[in-house]
Amino acid sequence: MPRLHLIGAGTPTPTKDRWGTCFVLDIVGQRFMIDCGPASTYKLFHAGIASTDVDNLFFTHLHSDHIADYPCFLMTRFDQSVGEENVLNVYGPSPVRDLHERLWSPERGVFWYDVRARVNHPMSIHAYHSRGGEGDRPEPVVSVKEYGEGVVASGPGWSCSAMEVRHAQPWLNCFGFRFETDEGIVSFTGDSAPCDSVVELSRNADLTVIESVHRARDIARYPSRISETGTTDAGRMADKAKAKRLVINHQSDRLDPPDAMTEGVADVKSAYGGPVWWGKDGMVIDWD
């Protein structure tokens, strides 16, 4: 049965229910991680997901609330390794390769000192052996691929494609993802203003994740109207796409009070008749 873990369903502003963006999709026997916002590695642990369980990480764009925990994730995955894990595949828009190399490479990585210490120091080698590793401790291997529109990656029973969405251009390249699998279609539209590509990403999806940062009546007053979506438009795009299920994420703290949340959900449902989840950190969604 497909399952979506909402590790982080928020914005750069921490609230008691949400902070940053991170999802883990379990489908066709695979585990896909989408974005790695603040505290994602710790919240993965609380969700019962080890960093070593993740082999494929996809970034929608490089805003801090989508990537800030990436160094922690890399170091934790390496630290907890027993030498039998798969290569970590990382997919992101340009300049994700440069970002990765500045963090985690022998030539340029600001955190590579940690790798050298854990590969060579007897204390760290003992920790590696105590977890089940054998022999010399290997350096981590990460494959980083920069993508554009089109197919990003594929494997047995699944493929992931990307479409550009309207968010923070020209300063950042911004995309959404569509996973087409033997167990259904799941889309993550990323952060975006209402646009045709959000609809196409969500077309006939079994589950689509669309952001809604403010109520429809409020977003017109904020500069974010040119780069993000309000409640009613999120429902309207899901309805136009004929998506079967809708998850709302990236709500601002203005939507946290109970009355505001109730009104926000009503906005979405006024435009969309299918099941709606008002996302928060730690939520788990199953469907078949």
Q: Residues 53-111: pLDDT tens digits?
A: 999 999 999 999 999 999 999 999 999 999 999 999 999 999 999 999 999 999 999 99
Cβ distance 189 to 279 under 8 Å? no
pTM: 0.97
- What residues have CB less than 8 Å from 29, skipping those under 6 apart? 157
Q: What is the mean pLDDT of residues 206-230?
A: 91
Query: What's the number of domains the chain is made of?
Result: 1
Checking if the pLDDT of 216 tops 90, the result is: no
Checking if the pLDDT of 206 tops 90, the result is: yes
Checking if the pLDDT of 225 tops 90, the result is: no
Show the domain range for 206.
3-286
Domain CATH for 20: 3.60.15.10
Q: Residues 237-261: pLDDT tens digits?
A: 999 999 999 999 999 999 999 999 9
Residue with the larger pLDDT of the pair 288 and 136:
136
